[in-house]
Amino acid sequence: MTEGLRVARSSRRTGARLVLAAAAGVAAAASAVALLATSAWLISRAAQHPPVLVLMVAIVAVRAFGLGRGVLRYVERLLAHDSAYRLLGAVRADAYRRLERLAPGGLAAFRSGDLLARLVADVDAVLDVILRVALPVTAAGITGAATAVFLGLVLPVAGMATAGGVGLALVVVPWLVARSGRAAERAVAPERGRLATATTELLDGAPDLLAYGATGPVLDNVRASSERLRRAERRSAWSAGLGSAGLVLAVGAACLVGLAAGIAAVVSGRLDPVLLAVVALVPLALADVFAPIPAAALGAARARPALARLAQLRSAPEPVAEPDRPLPLPPGPHHLRVDDLAVRWSPDAPWVFTGVNLDLPPGRRIAVVGPSGCGKSTLAQALVRFVEPGRGRISLDDVDVRRFATDDVRTVVSLCAQDAHIFDTTLAENVRLARPGADDADVRQALERARLLDRLESFPAGIHTRVGEHGERLSGGERQRLALARCLLAGTPVVVFDEPTEHLAEPDATALTRDLLTAAGDRTVVLVTHRAVPADLVDEVLDLRTHSASGAFRLAGEAAASTPAVSSGSGSRTLAVR
549, β-bridge pairs:
542
The pLDDT, as a whole number, for residue 76 is 92
Give phi and psi for 109, each to the nearest 5: -80, -5
What span, in angstroms and rounded, lies between the C-alpha atoms of 5 and 471? 41
Q: How confident is the model over 227-238, as pLDDT tens digits?
A: 888 888 888 788
Within 10 Å of residue 347's Cβ, how many Cβ atoms?
7
Half-sphere exposure of 290 (CA within 13 A, CB side): 30
Give just the sign of the alpha carbon dihedral 289, 291, 294, 300.
Answer: negative
CA–CA distance, 427 with 397 (Å, rounded to integer): 36
Three-state DSSP class for residue 474: coil
Q: What pLDDT shows up at residue 72?
A: 93
Asked if 491 and 443 count as a contact pair (C-beta separation under 8 A), the reply is no
Q: What is the pLDDT of residue 32?
A: 92
How far is 297 from 173, CA to CA, in rounded Å? 9
Between 230 and 503, residue with greater pLDDT: 230
Q: How far is CA 138 from CA 49, 298, 355, in A?
A: 40, 16, 62
Fold entry, domain 2-315: ABC transporter transmembrane region fold (1.20.1560)
Beta bridge partners of 343: 353
What's the pTM value of the predicted model, to 2 decimals? 0.64
Give me the residue spans of the domains in the chain.
Answer: 2-315, 325-412+492-578, 423-490
Identify the band that residue 387 occupies on the pLDDT scale cut at 50, 70 and 90. confident
Task: Domain 325-412+492-578: give its CATH superfamily.
Answer: P-loop containing nucleotide triphosphate hydrolases (3.40.50.300)
Model pLDDT for residues 124-168, shown as the tens digit of each residue: 777 788 888 889 999 999 999 999 999 999 999 999 999 998 998
Mean per-residue pLDDT of the chain: 80
Q: State the average pLDDT over residues 184-208.
A: 77
Query: Confidence band (pLDDT; 50, 70, 90) for 564?
Result: very low
The confidence score (pLDDT) of residue 390 equals 85
* DSSP secondary structure code for residue 328 in this structure: P
Contact in structure between 302 and 189 (CB atoms under 8 Å): yes
Bridge partners of 466, per DSSP, are 426
Q: How far is CA 97 from CA 116, 310, 314, in A?
A: 14, 13, 10
Q: Smallest Cα–Cα separation from 452: which of 442, 441, 461, 444?
A: 444
CA 407 – CA 409 distance, rounded (Å): 5
Per-residue pLDDT tens digits for 209-225: 888 788 888 888 888 88
Cα(1)–Cα(490) distance, rounded to whole angstroms?
A: 41
Bridge partners of 528, per DSSP, are 368, 498
User: Does position 121 have pLDDT exceeding 90, yes or no?
Assistant: no
